[in-house]
Amino acid sequence: QIKAFIFDLDGVITDTARYHFKAWRRMANELGFDFSEEKNEELKGVGRLESLNKILQWGGITLSEEEKIRLAEQKNQWYLQYIQEVSANDLLPGAREFLLATREAGIKTALGSASKNAIPIVEKLGVKHLFDVLIDGNKATKSKPDPEVFLLGASELNVDPLSCIVFEDSLAGIQAAKGAGMYTVGIGYMLPKGIADFQAGSLEFLTPSIVISEV
Ligand code: G16
Ligand code: MG
């Protein structure tokens, strides 16, 4: 029996990926190279330092740990500037309605994000109160595809991982959920087919009972 839904933030509740991309790309450009939006897919759900390491590898650049920390901090400053204006208008279609319907159905809700900025973002979006539990990149130390972020969610909700459904837009996130033994719903069109137990373009046309019957 399904007891909880765990939601990824970026790509499921809101689209912050474009701001991450903009900030990482600005950094890469300053280092003298560029990378495509297609490549950016590989950074979705992946933590800040792991993302930086991947990007530096694409650019063929080796840096000291201190330089990496400085660059990650710089990227975050730009990212924070870009997300300053985030508001309820930036919720993805159906996100708020789906969260409300989930709670009405008596299903618990958690946020399971790799982002250290996840909590201020859900505050700006006006949906923080719709999550029973919030797991962000400060609580979870291992980056997706490690299952830690979702296992912490289940544990704080006090439910068995096997009775959770995870909503994710990234490959690393689906792998993390599967590693936790959870059901998966892939959101968006970027995931390879057949990866998630069930796939939908957005939360807009879903209801909790449809999801539960499909996974
Ligand atoms: C998000 C994004 C990733 C980002 C990561 C860390 O995860 O998808 O691209 O690198 O968080 O973010 P920050 O630098 O803000 O700590 P999620 O799990 O919400 O998709
Ligand atoms: Mg995501």
- pLDDT tens digits, one per residue of 191-208: 988 999 999 999 999 999
User: What is the pLDDT averaged over residues 73-86?
Assistant: 97
Pairwise CA distance, residues 72 & 116, whole Å: 12
In this prediction, residue 139 has a pLDDT band, given cuts at 50, 70 and 90, of very high
The reply to whether 132 belongs to the active site is: no
The atom number, within ligand 1, closest to the CA of 72 reads: 14
The atom number, within ligand 1, closest to the CA of 50 reads: 10
Pairwise CA distance, residues 184 & 173, whole Å: 9
The protein residue with its alpha carbon nearest to ligand 1, atom 12, reads 115
Task: Pick the closest to residue 165 from 116, 121, 102 (CA basis).
Answer: 102
- The residues lining ligand 1, judged by C-beta closer than 6 Å to any ligand atom, are 8-11, 17, 20, 43-48, 51, 76, 113-117, 137, 170
The reply to whether 10 belongs to the active site is: yes
Pairwise CA distance, residues 154 & 111, whole Å: 10
Cβ neighbours of 137 (radius 10 Å): 19
The protein residue with its alpha carbon nearest to ligand 1, atom 2, reads 45
pLDDT of residue 190: 86
Q: What ipTM does this complex have? A: 0.92
**pTM for this one?**
0.94
In this prediction, residue 158 has a pLDDT band, given cuts at 50, 70 and 90, of very high
pLDDT of residue 18: 93
State the virtual CA torsion across 187, 165, 116, 50 in degrees, nearest 10: -70
The atom number, within ligand 1, closest to the CA of 12 reads: 20
Between the CA of 112 and the centroid of ligand 1 the distance, in Å, is 10
What ligand is nearest to the CA atom of residue 150?
1
